[in-house]
Chains A and B, each alone.
Chain A
Amino acid sequence: EAGVAQSPRYKIIEKRQSVAFWCNPISGHATLYWYQQILGQGPKLLIQFQNNGVVDDSQLPKDRFSAERLKGVDSTLKIQPAKLEDSAVYLCASSVDRLGLGYTFGSGTRLTVV
């Protein structure tokens, strides 16, 4: 079974620039999550999708972050404009359902904002 695919693996941008990350979940997984993991900390949920609907985006900084999952499969997370404190690893995860069955993480995108 293929895992959760994320790209790019690394990104370096200047502050105030924009950046986008892409995630392809495991086939058949209806629930998709984006996490932010700052160095030395545990992952923090940014947004959770169920199919193409948002379940929880309470921790998403909506003034600069946006995410979509238009066809209920792939998802993109965008930051515009980026700040220095956005430097982190952005992890995508997926599960079969909202109960978390089969919860699997991708390898993440490491973002450095300079």
Chain B
Amino acid sequence: QQQVKQSPQSLIVQKGGIPIINCAYENTAFDYFPWYQQFPGKGPALLIAIRPDVSEKKEGRFTISFNKSAKQFSLHIMDSQPGDSATYFCAASMPDKLIFGTGTRLQVFP
């Protein structure tokens, strides 16, 4: 019940495409859903996050869509760029608990 399922495992898009990464959770006690971006040799860095009382959040080219009834959320990257190539992790959080998904390796080709 503490798992966060993430798909796909890897994603290849061309520059300008809109990659979509999906996550699902079971525990309704989670109250904060961050996305992390990780470049090789670096730790994960917070990209964008949402709370379950909103259905969508946009920050620049990154958008989270949240479906509370389905217990699913997704990350959309608009107008993707080669610099977006990284591994993306969704996560689900409550006080003293941050559970990561398994990660999606995104490659954006020029």
Whether B43 lies near A41 (C-beta < 8 A) is: no
Q: A14 an interface residue at 8 Å Cβ cutoff? A: no
Q: Which of A18-70 contact B (CB under 8 A)?
A: 33, 40-45, 48, 55-56
Known: A41-B102, A42-B102, A43-B100. A99 touches B44 (CB 8 A): no
C-alpha gap A36/B44 in the complex (Å): 12
Whole-angstrom CA separation of A41 from B105 in the bound complex: 11
The size class of the interface chain A forms with chain B is: 20 to 34
Which residue from A4, A55, A100, A108 sits with its C-beta under 8 Å from B32? Answer: A100
A98-B103 in contact (CB<8A)? no
Within 8 A of A (CB), among B63-100: 89, 91, 93, 95-96, 98, 100
The distance from the CB of A92 to the nearest CB of chain B, in whole angstroms, is: 8
- Chain B residues with CB under 8 Å of chain A are 6, 32, 34, 41-46, 89, 91, 93, 95-96, 98, 100-103
